[in-house]
Amino acid sequence: SENLLEIKNLKTYYPVKGGFFKHTVGHVKAVDNISFEIKKGETFGLVGESGCGKSTAGRTILRLLKATDGQIIFDGKDITNLSGRSLREIRKDLQMVFQDPYASLNPMQMVGDIIAEPIYNFSKKSKEELKREVMDLLEKVGLPPDAYYKYAHEFSGGQRQRIGIARSLALRPKLIIADEPVSALDVSVQSQVLNLLKDLQEEFELTFLFIAHDLSVVKHMSDRIGVMYLGNMVEIADKDSLYAEPLHPYTQALISAIPSPDPRTKKERIILKGDVPSPLNPPVGCPFHPRCPMAIEECSKQKPVLKEVKPSHRVACHLY
Ligand code: SF4
Ligand code: MG
């Protein structure tokens, strides 16, 4: 089907200042040339360890951070350099659900007003209409009507995330970027919130970019998955082929670490040596080569490009 989002060679570098005069002494290559696309109505999972650049990628796509290079095509339109009114217009269609719902909710505002605010900012609706819409959104996310008059601190973590979700839905967006939306929640409420997101996706015809470090969560949610390592996209595949047949040695290690529900089918866990290198000084060649159990000579010299090696399965590795 049609692509809602196309990311082409996206880079987000942060300058690093140093010395007495605070000159730029280098750049953190937080996102270093990634390309992928998200089809209308699907959930694209973006996975990788903390610091791999997945949140930075999400924020760059949302235009909360400035892209250093590359293109963000949303709904057929290049939004990479939009500003002013045209950027404001596009904000309606692109919303974010944050990891920590509490930090993103104003403690001084009634929940009803928190949810109404984006609608109020973007449309001229009567007080009655506004209230009806908010009540409707509360119901859709499974909160009682009297939540309208309460404050965020009166709710549990899972309920707060429902408030954040209601707010993100208020403008009927096309794409929601959910950045670790359940990782701050108790395991017992995680699946409730994930299932709510799935239900809402169907009802509101949403497309999701779902960012998480937890591979089981990503597996539960996604149609297709991209794996990031050190600012790079190292593998993209349909969920089933990624989990059944991971091609990149890094993906293989990640998947081998998922606890198996049945101990008899447990595969051997691949333990990686060393730590993730600094994105300020990424390794030459394949970014994974200092830790890769399969590295060959070429790996420390030439950076592999992401290429399709099977239908709908792309990998950046010299072994293929
Ligand atoms: Fe490992 Fe080489 Fe493949 Fe990189 S390119 S993942 S170092 S085998
Ligand atoms: Mg993050």
Interval 45-98: pLDDT, tens: 999 998 899 999 999 999 999 999 999 999 999 999 999 999 999 999 999 999
- Nearest CA, atom 5, ligand 1: 317
Instruction: Report residues whose beta carbon is within 6 angstroms of any ligand 1 atom.
Output: 248-249, 286, 288-289, 292, 294-296, 299, 304, 317-319
The residue whose CA is least distant from atom 7 of ligand 1 is: 289
Report CA(55)–ligand 2 centroid distance (Å).
4
Which amino acid would we find at residue 11? K
Which amino acid residue places its CA nearest to atom 8 of ligand 1? 295
CA of 167 to the centre of ligand 1 (A): 42
pLDDT band at 280 (very low <50, low <70, confident <90, very high): confident
48 CA from centroid of ligand 2 (Å): 9
Q: Which long-range contacts (CB under 8 A, 24 or more apart) does 103-109 make?
A: 104/164, 105/152, 105/160, 105/163, 105/164, 105/167, 106/152, 107/151, 107/152, 107/153, 108/151, 109/151, 109/152
What's the 210 CA to ligand 2 centre distance in angstroms?
11
For the entire predicted model, the pTM comes to 0.94
Instruction: Give the tens place of pLDDT for each residue, 20-30.
Output: 888 888 889 99
| pLDDT higher at 103 or 91 | 91
Distance, CA 259 to ligand 1 centroid (Å)?
Answer: 25
> Which atom in ligand 1 lies closest to the alpha carbon of residue 287?
4
Kindly report the protein residue whose alpha carbon is nearest to atom 6 of ligand 1: 317
Please report the atom of ligand 1 found closest to the CA of residue 248: 6
**Residue 318 Cα: closest atom of ligand 1:** 5
pLDDT number for residue 40: 97
What is the number of the ligand closest to the CA of 298?
1
Beta bridge partners of residue 8, listed in sequence order:
71
At residue 72, the 3 state secondary structure works out as: strand
Domains of the chain: 3-93+173-315 (3.40.50.300)
Residue 128 Cα to ligand 2 midpoint, Å, equals 38
User: Ligand 2 center to residue 56 CA distance, Å?
Assistant: 7
Please give the Cα distance from 176 to 189 (Å, whole number). 20
The answer to whether the CB of 2 falls within 8 A of the CB of 39 is: yes
Report the separation in Å between the CA atom of 225 and the middle of ligand 2, taken as the mean of its atom positions: 16
3-class DSSP state of 296: coil
Averaged pLDDT of the chain: 93
ipTM over 0.85: yes
Are 208 and 175 in contact by the 8 Å Cβ rule? The answer is: yes
Q: How confident is the model at residue 266 (pLDDT cuts 50, 70, 90)?
A: low
pLDDT at 301 over 90: yes
Instruction: For ligand 1, pick from 286, 291, 297 the residue to mutate: most ligand atoms within 8 Å of CB.
Output: 286
Ligand 1 atom closest to the CA of 250, numbered from 1: 6
